[in-house]
Amino acid sequence: MINTKRGLSDIITNVLIILLVLVAVGIIWAFVRPAIQGGAQQVAGASDCLAVNVVPTACSNTVTGATTGADLWNVTVSMGTGSTANIEELKFIFRDSTGAVRTNTTTIIPEEFESRTFDVLGLTGFSEDTVDIAVVVSASGQLKTCEPSGTPVTCTSPA
């Protein structure tokens, strides 16, 4: 007589092991998936930042706050190669000699290979020594501020 209990027990054991492995894979995937998707979105935003080449080329004070209550700075920006399609705004980053930072933004975006001068309103009493530019891009439906250009220019004041 053939012992069918032993053969049936091996099949049930193998099926249970396969089911446990599938459940374990599902649980692990539930934890890993958000990290993978978040990383992919960050890579998409980073590639948008790499495709843009915007640098400040000049900065000068044209109106001092003594008469108007606020300083007016002319900041010239040069757009190099790269797509401007995803750029939402430019962020002017002013620094003074103490390291204090003040920012101002514009939604006017220069065309590729264009230089444009912006009138940026400053703060009276804030001594803008340098200005740098950071680009804000639209990546995957969200706004992402890229790192500054890394080439700040010195701001000059009238004598």
CB 91 within 8 A of CB 59: no
Q: How confident is the model at residue 19 (pLDDT cuts 50, 70, 90)?
A: very high
CB 97 within 8 A of CB 79: no
Greater pLDDT, 98 or 41? 98
Greater pLDDT, 130 or 141? 130
- Region 131-154: what's the mean pLDDT? 84
Closest CA to 156 of 138, 132, 129: 129
CATH number of 51-154: 2.60.40
